[in-house]
Chain A
Amino acid sequence: MFSITVENLQKDFRIYARPQDRLLELLMRKPRHRVFEALHDVSFNVLEGKSLGIVGDNGAGKSTLMKLLVGTLQPSAGSISIKGQVAALLELGAGFHPEFSGRRNIYLNASLLGVPDDDIVALENDIIEFSELRDFIDQPVKTYSSGMYVRLAFSIATMVRPDVLVIDEALSVGDIAFQKKCVQRMNDFRQQQKTMVFCSHSMYHVQELCDTAIWLERGRIREIGKSEDVVAHYEDYCNSQRVYTKGQEQVQVHDNEATAAAKDCRILYTRVLNEDGEPVDSVAPLQNIVLEMQVEMLNDNVRCYFGFAMMKDLDAVMSSYLATERPEVENGPFRQGEIITVQVRLQAMAMRMGAFHLLGGVADESGLLWYETKLSKEVKITANKGLGSFVMASSWTVKHG
């Protein structure tokens, strides 16, 4: 069953050069506006219990689409139908009254989301607990930091258990510990078969949290599909944009070596291979593996160092391998247009369970400035018999006497 159905959605904004033009148009009936097409012919479905990510550049129409889904904007044409109760986090704490305590604001905010008072009483403690604001909950929210604001708002919106949750850039604020809690909460949401629409500039989060994704470009759907694919294509596009703009900069700042280094190369992919050189997406403990990345040189005379890291998530490195400490590894100079394949052989995979992403990186000559990194798809570890998080290659002896 579709939880969200959007068909041929169109949203035009009328742009008036001067405010009085709006009035004149009403009175004289002569058009005095130009039309800005914020969304054009957008159609998609979201299955119940699935989550949809929306990516795209600034001004691509992401926020407009979110507002249309929530209902604070009316479509110019086309239709939207959503089953069930919708809770939105378009702007965190939009309904907060700064003079009132956090507790009072919980009540007001939850009733804005349509929760009966009695239910709020039951949820109040959970909300306070999740937001970690117990010590401040009776202070006016005007004294809160922006991170605390966000924590309270996120806690309320997700605690009221809507059928559909619409989130716009909510995770970009708040400290890393809280971000993790949010991701966990959103994953719980998916497990409860709730539908989620999530718009973010964090490709990592979109990839992790969403089943499908839409890439919006100037109000149109450029791509729709599995979130890994869409995110990968969008990232490629962003990287090429970045190279392009940095190429421009180079002309202007010739003598600045740090900036000059920044557009020297581009990582085409990173992946994990087995001993036979075949790409894999799962690895057995104690297996020998090869980490690989391919780098395209965009300039002549590039000297650089390569590095790999296995990441648990964006900020937690599990294991790293850097060429900066290995003088024997070739580090250039490379020619423009050259494609370099870099491999590191690892023996006896020590992780026993979980999963990791492979991060490939290229650093400048100093080894301090990382100017290009790329994450691989998730690689799972197939656990073997035993307990604990890691294993080592082992041999046994049993002696008499």
Chain B
Amino acid sequence: MSLTLLRDWIQSPFRHFRLFHQFVRQEFSGQFAGSLGGFLWLFVTPVFNIAIYSFVFSVVFRAPVPDNFGDVPFVIFLMIGYLPWFAFADAMGRASSLLLDKAPLITKVMFPVQLIPLVGTVIPFMVHGIAFVVFLLYLSTQGLVNVAWLWLPLAFVLQCLFTLGLVSVLSAFCVFLRDIQQMVALMLTAWFFLTPIIYPLSMLPEQLQPLMMLNPMHSFVQFYREIIVLGEFSLPHFHVMVLSAAISYLFGGWLFMRIKHAFGDVL
């Protein structure tokens, strides 16, 4: 029984590819519909962000170069962690309202509802993926390019699957308990500061550092940094990524498929 649920979950973007495609198109261009700048904002926003952070961390705070990362400026160290986090946080932040916003559709039209968390995750990853690519292009003009970058798409996909599982669970629970919306916002703030993004891991007390292996986002951030700056990665982080992505994707999907039939009663 649960195997068919999992199979449906995994197959749905392929089996219903046209609908998936239409949804993605709709949501993606819906973000910019009616705005004058349109897709230009996709590029302006990350460039603007990079500029602000450069100013704050290299002019105001003059943060030191973190250990283990050669002589790369702090702001680059920061942005490598910050951009992927932003994709994650954006998807999670929207998760709680995904199904509630689509309530008229879910109660009135029969369609594979599991596409909704999928689209809700893919869209932020597309948007921030573009920002990430802009950033990488900038880095390559600074001479930081190396062949290990070929690992980056895989890491990005794993991160997307990890996020998708959590988004599915959150969006489904929110149908039954709207308080989750507020709780998610708080949780994301805590999670952001508990992940070494705006500070290096070495600034944590030494006895706390191993605990960070329990935080998959730390592994993702660390993996990106090692790949981009050093051109190599440490296996433990990679294991955490693969494991957390698999568990989150499969468990989140299974749970969503289990309870999706009850949405009609509550929405």
Task: Give residues in A with beta carbon < 8 Å to B.
Answer: 13-14, 19, 22-23, 67, 70-74, 86, 88, 90-91, 94-95, 97, 99-100, 104, 107-108, 111-112, 114, 116-117, 140
Contact = CB atoms under 8 A, between A and B. Distances in A.
Given A13-B265, A67-B264, A100-B26, A95 B109 contact: yes
A396 B30 CA distance: 74
Given A97-B26, A100-B33, A72 B264 contact: yes
A90 B34 CA distance: 29
Nearest to B176: A22
B178 A19 contact: yes
A245 to B, nearest CB: 32
Contact of A72 (B26, B30, B33, B106): B106
Interface in B78-118: 104-111
A88 B176 contact: no
Given A99-B30, A112-B19, A86 B110 contact: yes
B18 A111 contact: yes
5 contacts: A23-B176, A88-B109, A111-B19, A112-B19, A112-B111
Contacts of A112: 19, 22, 105, 109, 111
A111 B19 CA distance: 5
Interface residues of B, number: 24
A97 B111 CA distance: 16
Interface in B9-45: 18-19, 22-23, 26, 29-30, 33-34
A74 B26 contact: no
Contact of B108 (A14, A23, A72): A72
Given A23-B177, A100-B33, A94 B104 contact: yes
A339 to B, nearest CB: 47
A14 B176 CA distance: 13
Given A72-B264, A108-B22, A67 B107 contact: yes
A116 B33 CA distance: 25
Contacts of B19: 111-112, 114
Contact of A73 (B18, B111, B177, B265): B265
A17 B107 CA distance: 22
A97 B110 contact: no
A185 B12 CA distance: 34
B30 A97 contact: yes
A111 B22 contact: yes
A112 B26 CA distance: 12
Interface in B244-267: 261-262, 264-265
